[in-house]
Structure formats: structure tokens, C-alpha cells
Structure 1
Amino acid sequence: MNEISISVIVPIYKIEAYLPKCIESILDQSFTDYELILVDNGSPDKCPEICDEYAKKDDRIKVIHKEHGQLLSGRKEGLRNAKGKYVAYIDGDDWVDKFYLDILYKLAEVNNSDLVATAHFREFDGKIETVRPLLTGVFNEEEIKNSILPKAMYNGVFCKHELATYVWSKLFKRELLNKILFDVPGEIVMGEDAAITYPYLSISKKLTISKIPLYYYRQRNDSILKSIKNTTVEFYRLGLLKTFLEEKLSPFLTKENLNTQILYYLYSSILVRSGGLIHDKSEQVIFNPFLKTKQNSKIVVYSSGSFGQHLLSANSRSNYFDIVKWVDIDHHVMNIGDHYVEPLSSIVNIEFDYLIIATINPTAFNSIKEELQLLGIDCEKIVQINTDETEITKLLTQLGFENTLLN
């Protein structure tokens, strides 16, 4: 029996409204030499039935029903059952372009690559934007080790990665992925993509990064956790991620470089998950990352994405800021507590001390800042995020990451 070219693995849990579109987009591929492995991760809705119905119609589909576990467990189970030369992961609430597998396969074969990464589309509230990688091209083993890996998580600009973490929009060689995926601790549920992508990169001999967008990532309001519910558990999980990345990457990177990369990666993860305002057990704010702002400052929050939602939720715990408006150019109905998202025009004639652009992406920040200035917003009121390495180190130590820096 000839080897299948690509195993497409789709972990599935509570996404019945989106799953058919995902499966249909895969079955409609121009490339046909693949198997589709649908991993029902103990989903309590109609997902198991949807999977089984599709499997009856197409013999390329294999359905695995398992007890509920984290996303990582579904990815592992899919890989255990995969027979392809390559593996592509697709999240069950996303969908892909008709030529997704075709182009991924050609990029891998033509360039003899162990890893292929592409651009993607981001869909949020019906609007689609293109997200392209910072770096494109074909890179050999020496370039990976000396240029890509030392900047993979942090390239010197806060929250800028030489290679995005996502396992979707990538193509892996199954024989190499087997060496990485099963070593990732099942308890890692924050940053699990980083725990796969970067160690895999470290053992890759050829990397191809393309600017062609082929994957549609759906950012759902109902999938965004509005606040950290248990900081002890969350930070413990991040600690597991830190330890795993140190173990896997220390043979390839200097101690100083690895320290800095992990430091900034952990910090960005904590910011997004916490909304920036870090509370202690008594709900007192022990860290405020928004430069110039102080307790009781009158604040406008721009962005209804995940960071913006987390910030509103975090602030509701202590009322640290006096939030006077919550706005977004992608105006849609959403509220957290007494705050509703309003159109951008609503801030033109109100008084406020500072405006927080709730994003850790510097490109997005600068673009939004330019638009706000066109509306007459004083740029001195638009605040930056604190990225001082000394301050970040103090914060992580305070949060229990005593060994944040390698000895």
C-alpha cells in the first residue's frame, strides 16, 4: 500500500455550528491524496454524529471517538492514527482554501522542507483580515539554528515572532512530529502550540515560510475566556511550558538568548490572559503594565478583541481604572458588566486621561494610533505597554516564577 501524502487531523469539541463548514472545505480540496482524521474529543453536542455522517459518505475520513481531554490530547490521538508522510492540523471551527493542501504539499516537496508555514486569514465578527508572516523564504539548517530559532519567540520587538506559534497553517513531517508531540506534557494547556512548534523547529533541517494566505482562522467571542479564573493553576501551567521549552531548546540556544525569549513570551501570555492588570489574592492590583496610567485614571479602552475583553473583566474585579468608554472600529454589540462596545466616534467629545489600545501587536498598535490621531486624539494620551526587561523579571518572580532565568 502506498503511503498517503498528508494526514489532516481535526480535534473536535463543542463546535457543532462550525464543524460542517470545516469538513466541507477539506473535502473540497484540489489535492486528493490525503486522509482526514476527525478526533471527537468527547464532545457533548452533535459533533460525534456529524463526524460519523461524513465518514459514511467519504472513505478518506477516519473518526476517532475518545473521552474528553484537552486539545493536546486530541492532537496526539490523531497523530497516533496518522499514516501520511506529512501532517496538517486544522481546528474544527476554522476552514481552509480549496488549494490549501495542494500548495502546502508543493512547498514541502519542491523545497524538501521539514516544516512549511503560510500566511492566514483572521475572521472576526464577519470581517476578514490577512495576517502575513514577518519573514518569508526557504531556510536551511544553519539558517534555522543561527537566525530563525534565536528570534523565533522574540525578535527584539515586543510580541514579534520570527515564526508564529500556531500549529494550524503549517505542514509537519510525521516522522519528526512523532519525536516532539508525545513529549509535550498533557498538563500544558496554555501555549501548547509553542510547545510543539518551537521544539519541532529546533530539529528541522529545512524550513519554508510562504506569504500566501490559505487558512481561515475564526476568532469567536464564545471561545475567548474573559478572565483568569484561577491564577495559581494558570501560572502553574505557564511554568510547565517554561520548563519544557528550556529543556527542549537549551541545546540549541545560548542561555542569555533563551532566557530573553522565554521571558518575553511568558509576559505576553500573562498580559493577554490577565488583561494586563495583575491582582493578588485580595484582589489588589500588584502590576499595571500601561505606562503613565494610575489608579482611578479615566480610561478609554480601544479593542473588543481578547485583550480588550480581558482588560474589562480584570478591571471589574478591583475598579482600578475609571473606564469611561469601550470602543472599537469593528463596532458590534458586546458588553462586560456595565460597559458596552461603542463606535469610535463616541470618544471625540468626552474627557479622559489616557487611551489604552488593547493589543500586544506593535504593528496593530501603530496602525490604530495613526487612525486615532486623524480623529484629533492627543497622541500623548495613547499609552504604551511596559516592556522593560528588569520590570518583567520582577513581575515573574513575584508571580512565582523564581527560576525564570536559567542558572
Structure 2
Amino acid sequence: MSSIKISVIVPIYRIEKYLAQCIESLLEQSFKDFELILVDDGSPDNCPQICDDYAKNDNRIKVIHKPNGGLLSARKAGLEAASGTHIAYVDGDDWVDHFYLDTLYKLAIANDADLAVTGHFREFDGKIETVKPKNPGFYDETKIKSEILPKAIYNGEFCEHGMSTYVWNKLFKKELLEKVLYDVPNDVVMGEDAAIVYSYLAFTKRLAISKIPLYYYRQRHDSIVKSVENPKTEYYRLGLLMNFLKTKLSNVLDEENLDTQITFYLYSQILVRSGGLIYNEKNDTWFNPFLKAEKDSKVVVYSSGSFGQHILSTNLKTDYFKIVKWIDVDYHDLKIGKNTVNPISSIYNDEFDYLIIATINPSTHKSLKEELELMGINQSKIVKTNTDEAKINSLLTDIGFDENFIFNQNN
């Protein structure tokens, strides 16, 4: 009988710079009863050779070489080859704590949990932030249905998840994951992890959530700045995810709650990817979600993360705002157009009309607003994001989404 308790699956594509650190952190785990499945998803760099070299020296490693099919297909290929009773996913450009598997497995076994969840670290440009779940504890089936699922995608604060979308800070039961993963269409290429996690949650009867951070998530500059290739293509892809979630969760949530959760999730994703401004082709107008900040306002953008970068990039094309400064508490050597990132101490109230905090996370927004207030920034100049559900629904309809969140590309 196999002693393998956990199969760790690592999808790999064009990450040779980071792969060795990832593999080493897994091979050095305190927990020993696991196998490591490296899925080379047709990577064109040196990743295939790195995988093979490690496999020659450690019999716990299986390597799968496959044509490029995307992240979801790599996750599926790894699951098909897995021998463990439990499944952990690790992204090949990240790394894990020495007790990552040990802690996850004990959480799962001690609570007979179908799903074990932990905290994580976010590493960005050498700085590390600790992220902990806000709802730690044990949940049985009744509590999952009454407390977790109704707030999993959208917890009532725009736009914050009650359950994180990531697969990598979780431990799944293989027998349950097999019921879920293969049903996710491979053409879901935006929000693949959310499709897995939330549909798996619908099957979960026992859940254990721990605050302990064990996973190091690397936020890379080169993975953030991606131009929006075509808004309609992105809307279509987001629609595939949202429609899948509606279909899979319709049996465990009432329709009104489910539609509200998905509506805010979809809106938040469109906001981030569009850089805030959303073009309404039906009315030939721009939907500006930043309340009070009108066209040609002198604006400061706070955050050099994904949303902030997209705001700068979008404004280059639209010239909607006059962006006078780009700031961040963790400022980096970045430049978009004529704007480079500056420290928050570099701004003064008289040089701008409004300040946009580029985050869709309300907790982050609140803490950054407090920091700015301590620096003497006028709080009335910090804009809020439009979260009027009726207006959001109207916008989604105008740009082509139907009641099932399917996007009509011919709209």
C-alpha cells in the first residue's frame, strides 16, 4: 500500500528563474509522505531540463511533459497522475515554508476536513506582507452553508472574498477534487483558481481555516503589467468563469445571494483589468467608477500594484484624468508614460483635486486612507468607488452580459 499522503502538483511555464527555489522548498519539507509532480506545460525555456535534473536525484519527483495547454490543463494533468489521498498545488514561481505540508495535513486530519486553508505571505520586490484569513476556525456542513458560502465570493465589503480564490494555500481531498476539477472547462483562462475553489466549496462538508501563514506568493512585476488585449475578449473570458460559478453554486445558494456575489466579483475584475474606466459602447460613454473625480481632474494615484498600473496605462490612452503624481508606500522603480512611482511623503493637498487608492480591497483601502490622514492629506479628496448595485447591473447589461453572466461578443 502506498505511503503517499499528499501529491504536490506544480504547473510550470516560463519560470526558470524561480523554479529551483520552489522545488528546493518542497524537497526540504518536514512532512515526508508526499510525491512531487512537476507538470511542464510545454515551457519553451530551460524549465523542462530543470525538472528532469531534479527527478534524476529524487525518487519522490514525477515529471510530466505536455504540450502547452494553459494552467487549468496542467492542474488536471497533475491530478490524473497523483497517487496521494490529498492534493496540494504550488505555483512554480512561489515557494513554501518548511512546515507547509505538515501543517496542512494535520489541519485536514485533526478535523476530518474536506478542505484545509491557511494564511500566506505576499512577497513583492523584496518586501513581505502577511495575509491571514479573517474567519479562522472549524466549520461543519451547516455552518458552511449558512456562514461560508453566502459570503465566499463577496463578503459584503467591496470587493472582498470570504474565501480566498487561491488553490495554493489549501489542501484538497483527491476524491472530491476529481468531482470538481474535470468539470471546469479548459477555456476558463481567467480566474481558473476561483472556478476550482468555489465549486469545490459546494461539495465541502467539513472545513478547517487556520491563520498560520505558510505559503510565499511572489508578486512579479512581469506578471502584473499586461495590456488588455481586447475588452470584449476579456469580458467573454470573465463571463465563462461567472457563468460556471453560477451553474455550480445554484444548488447551494439562493439565486439573489448568488447573483449579488457574482455581480460584484465580475465588476471588480472588470475594474482592475480596465484601469477603472469602462467603455460603454451602447451609449458611447465612459463609466467612471471613481466618485467625484470628473474628467480632467488633477489626480494622484496611490498603489503601484496591478490596479494602479492599469489605471496609469488606461489613462495614457484616454487622457481622462490629469495624473499629477503616482505614489506608493512601497514605491518601486516603475515608469508608465511620464509618471514614476514616488513615496507618499511627496504629495501636498494643493497640487491635486482627488486621490484614487487603487485597490478593490476595503481593508487595504481603509488602512491606506488612515496612513494618508496621518500624513496630513485632506480626507475629502480621497475618492470612493461606485458600488451601487443597480448601476453596476445596468452597466453589465449595457456592455453585453445577460442574466446568466454570459457575454455576447456581438453586442
Normalised by the shorter chain, which TM-score bucket? over 0.9
Within-5 A mapping of 1:12-23:
12-23=12-23
Q: Is contact 1:115-1:206 (8 Å) kept?
A: yes
Change (3 A) 1:298 1:77: same
Within-5 A mapping of 1:42-121:
42-121=42-121
Deviation at 1:66, TM superposition (A): 0.6
Deviation at 1:405, TM superposition (A): 7.0
Deviation at 1:344, TM superposition (A): 1.5
Residue in structure 2 matched with residue 201 of structure 1 by the alignment: 201
Comparing 146-155 with 292-301, which one deviates more in the overlay? Answer: 146-155
Deviation at 1:175, TM superposition (A): 0.4
What is the CA–CA distance in structure 1 between the aligned matches of 2:349 and 2:290, rounded to whole Å? Answer: 23
Deviation at 1:389, TM superposition (A): 0.3
Q: Give the unaligned 5+ runs of structure 1.
A: none
What is the CA–CA distance in structure 1 between the aligned matches of 2:18 and 2:140, rounded to whole Å? Answer: 38
Change (3 A) 1:288 1:5: same
Q: Give the unaligned 5+ runs of structure 2.
A: 407-411
TM-score (norm 2): 0.96
Deviation at 1:279, TM superposition (A): 2.7
Comparing 346-355 with 369-378, which one deviates more in the overlay? Answer: 346-355
What is the CA–CA distance in structure 2 between the aligned matches of 1:132 and 1:160, rounded to whole Å? Answer: 13
What is the CA–CA distance in structure 1 between the aligned matches of 2:170 and 2:399, rounded to whole Å? Answer: 33
Residue in structure 1 matched with residue 144 of structure 2 by the alignment: 144
SS across alignment from 1:356: strand
What is the CA–CA distance in structure 2 between the aligned matches of 1:140 and 1:254, rounded to whole Å? Answer: 19
Change (3 A) 1:378 1:289: same
Residue in structure 1 matched with residue 288 of structure 2 by the alignment: 288
Residue in structure 2 matched with residue 369 of structure 1 by the alignment: 369
Deviation at 1:167, TM superposition (A): 0.5
Deviation at 1:226, TM superposition (A): 3.5
Residue in structure 2 matched with residue 273 of structure 1 by the alignment: 273
Counterpart AA for 2:72:
L
Residue in structure 2 matched with residue 325 of structure 1 by the alignment: 325
Residue in structure 2 matched with residue 179 of structure 1 by the alignment: 179
What is the CA–CA distance in structure 1 between the aligned matches of 2:27 and 2:284, rounded to whole Å? Answer: 52
Residue in structure 1 matched with residue 409 of structure 2 by the alignment: none
Cα RMSD of the aligned pairs, angstroms, is 1.5
Q: Percent of aligned positions with the same letter in both sequences?
A: 64
Q: Is contact 1:303-1:358 (8 Å) kept?
A: yes
Q: Is contact 1:285-1:320 (8 Å) kept?
A: no
The number of equivalent residue pairs is: 406
Residue in structure 2 matched with residue 36 of structure 1 by the alignment: 36
Deviation at 1:349, TM superposition (A): 6.4
What is the CA–CA distance in structure 2 between the aligned matches of 1:377 and 1:156, rounded to whole Å? Answer: 28
SS across alignment from 1:211: strand
Deviation at 1:161, TM superposition (A): 1.7
What is the CA–CA distance in structure 2 between the aligned matches of 1:396 and 1:403, rounded to whole Å? Answer: 9
Within-5 A mapping of 1:348-367:
348=348, 351-367=351-367
What is the CA–CA distance in structure 2 between the aligned matches of 1:334 and 1:361, rounded to whole Å? Answer: 22
What is the CA–CA distance in structure 2 between the aligned matches of 1:285 and 1:361, rounded to whole Å? Answer: 26
SS across alignment from 1:135: coil
SS across alignment from 1:119: strand
What is the CA–CA distance in structure 2 between the aligned matches of 1:79 and 1:184, rounded to whole Å? Answer: 13
What is the CA–CA distance in structure 1 between the aligned matches of 2:41 and 2:345, rounded to whole Å? Answer: 44
Deviation at 1:348, TM superposition (A): 2.5
Q: Is contact 2:356-2:383 (8 Å) kept?
A: yes
What is the CA–CA distance in structure 2 between the aligned matches of 1:121 and 1:284, rounded to whole Å? Answer: 42
What is the CA–CA distance in structure 2 between the aligned matches of 1:227 and 1:404, rounded to whole Å? Answer: 27
Change (3 A) 1:113 1:371: same
SS across alignment from 1:4: coil
What is the CA–CA distance in structure 2 between the aligned matches of 1:255 and 1:200, rounded to whole Å? Answer: 19
Q: Is contact 1:86-1:173 (8 Å) kept?
A: yes
Deviation at 1:285, TM superposition (A): 5.2
Runs of 4 or more, structure 1, over 3 Å off, are 280-285
What is the CA–CA distance in structure 1 between the aligned matches of 2:226 and 2:352, rounded to whole Å? Answer: 25
Deviation at 1:3, TM superposition (A): 4.7
Residue in structure 2 matched with residue 253 of structure 1 by the alignment: 253
What is the CA–CA distance in structure 1 between the aligned matches of 2:32 and 2:365, rounded to whole Å? Answer: 41
Residue in structure 1 matched with residue 335 of structure 2 by the alignment: 335
What is the CA–CA distance in structure 1 between the aligned matches of 2:280 and 2:147, rounded to whole Å? Answer: 39
Say yes or no: does 1:387 pair with 2:370: no
SS across alignment from 1:9: strand
What is the CA–CA distance in structure 2 between the aligned matches of 1:3 and 1:186, rounded to whole Å? Answer: 32
SS across alignment from 2:351: coil
Change (3 A) 1:389 1:282: closer
